[in-house]
Amino acid sequence: MTTRRHYITTTIPYVNARPHLGFALELVQADALARHHRHRGDEVRLLSGTDDNSLKNVLAAEAAGVDVRTLVDRNADAFAALRGPLALSFDDFIRTSSDPRHRVGVERLWRRCAAAGDLYRKAYEGLYCVGCEQFYTPDELSAGRCPEHGTEPERIAEENWFFRLSRYTDRLHDLIAGGHLRVEPAARRNEVLALIAGGLRDFSVSRAGTRAHGWGIPVPDAPGQVVYVWWDALGNYVTSLGYGTDDPACTRWWAGSDHRTHLVGKGVVRFHAVYWPAILLSAGLPLPTDVLVHDYLTVDGRKISKSGGPTADPAALAAAYGTDAVRWWLLREVPRVGDADFTPDRLVARADADFAGGLGNLVHRVVTMVHRYRGGAVPSLGADRYAVRSLLDVCGQVPGRIDAALADFDFRRATEAVWTIVEEANRCVDATRPWELARAERQGNTAAGERLDAVLAALITACRTLAEELHPFIPESAARITAQLTAAGETLPPAHPLFPRLRETVDHP
């Protein structure tokens, strides 16, 4: 099997407030993808972090009556601390305001683009949304309001540095249309191509230091200006690899990866599929290979938000319902295309149906039968495989189906593929009726005993395959299943319930 190298990243969120479940979706998706590729034997580096240098953070600190550093540190720590509650396996976590790798990398990226002739100064007046950290033209607004936040943008006049995005219009179109830069799903790729076809305008990449309240990375060789938040933030994908210091990690993981994969929300597609690739082209660096776009989580149809509207605390949800219940809902319920509405009741219903009622019931049932009919020792499959051929075929097919689903960035389809093992194993039990085979064996029917061995062995194989293939999605539960199926000496541990019913054990709204 050929080993491939994957560099997988999440976006880095503003830290104007504590994390919410909407960003946890992206973290869990990225983690599941990274775990999956590690499980297949590939090399993987998973990066997350925080965008500390945003004007939103400055304004939030002023509103809270604290200094910017205090607010940024407190909230950035809360994002980093999600590693535990969500069972995240990221290899690196970068903070743009304090990580020494970041500033030198941003400065080098700036100078490379300046040397390419792609940076220039000009006076500008436009409509600016602080929430998006982005200028809009009137035709991009919805009834005069930001299409993302529903707020009226401010009219801002200033003299900034601009990047010649327009120079890269044709190259970006060809790269995306030709699949060299893959944007998935197709609806988002078409959205990006339509944006490019409408004409790309140069964009501001700095702001006055006074308007940024002195917070941010100073523009190299330009006193009084700081690097604009998107230029600053997007650079983290290479600055975290030591781009500013010629660290060999940059060659290994950026230039040397087979897949450079960005997971992003639909609200920031243009920055990752248009602005960032253009900056990389200007700087002479390889482009990402994949930009994988998810839609939003909502509550009562309204987007979950850190700074207004409905929210949901992922750490609190994990504490109340369990890490894997949260992970499973995010991976099993959220569609590849379209927003998903969250309620705690839906999380509980999914966990109880799949964990207690489906997976847990199957494993408990199978281990109990092995103890009852074979004293806890797992029999060999033997030659009588006719009754279990379908189950064994499904177990053999599922890894490839998961690979194909995750290659398409479809976590719901991947988890559905795993679940076919549960469904087929239950059909196998119903069809073969092991208790009747055991009765016939006790009455002297040798063939029934051989068939019972095959059935029990196949069911154990199915449960072990489930544990293997579920590991990227629900690692803690997969480990518990593996422990239940691992013999101590010659026999399996006694069967015990793996998953309590949350509706019976947890108080929830």
**What pLDDT digit, counting tens, does each position of 208-253 carry?**
888 888 899 999 988 899 998 889 999 999 999 999 998 999 999 9
Please state, in angstroms and rounded to a whole number, the distance separating the CA atoms of residues 9 and 433: 48
Question: What is the per-residue DSSP string for 456-495?
Answer: HHHHHHHHHHHHHHHTTT-HHHHHHHHHHTS-BTTBPPPP
The predicted model scores a pTM of: 0.92
Q: What is the pLDDT of residue 309?
A: 57
Q: What is the pLDDT of residue 307?
A: 56
- Say if CB 282 and CB 112 are below 8 A apart: yes
Number of helical (H) and strand (E) elements in the chain, helices listed first: 21, 15
Strand boundaries in 233-329, DSSP class E:
259-265, 290-294, 297-299, 302-303
Smallest CA-to-CA distance from 48 within 84, 13, 4 is with 13
- Say if CB 292 and CB 6 are below 8 A apart: no
Please state, in angstroms and rounded to a whole number, the distance separating the CA atoms of residues 204 and 321: 45
Please state, in angstroms and rounded to a whole number, the distance separating the CA atoms of residues 46 and 29: 11
Conformation bin of residue 382: beta by default, left when phi > 0, alpha when psi is -120 to 50: left
Is the dihedral angle over the CA atoms 458, 487, 482, 346 positive or is it negative? Answer: positive
Q: What is the pLDDT of residue 308?
A: 57
Pairing type for strands 340-341 and 297-299 reads parallel
**What pLDDT digit, counting tens, does each position of 367-379 carry?**
999 999 999 999 9
What share of residues in the chain are helix, strand, coil (percent, to 5)? 55, 15, 30
List the pLDDT tens digit at each of the 509 positions of the chain. 689 999 999 999 999 999 999 999 999 999 999 999 999 999 999 999 999 998 889 999 999 999 999 999 999 999 999 999 999 999 999 999 999 999 999 999 999 999 999 999 998 877 877 666 677 778 788 788 877 667 888 887 788 999 999 999 999 999 999 999 999 999 999 999 999 999 999 999 998 888 888 899 999 988 899 998 889 999 999 999 999 998 999 999 999 999 999 999 999 999 999 999 999 999 999 999 999 999 999 998 888 876 555 678 999 999 999 999 999 999 999 999 999 999 999 999 999 999 999 999 999 999 999 999 999 999 998 877 787 999 999 999 999 999 999 999 999 999 999 999 999 999 999 999 999 999 999 999 999 999 999 999 999 999 999 999 999 999 999 999 999 999 988 999 999 999 999 987 766 54
Q: What is the pLDDT of residue 53?
A: 92
Is the dihedral angle over the CA atoms 504, 357, 322, 481 positive or is it negative? Answer: positive
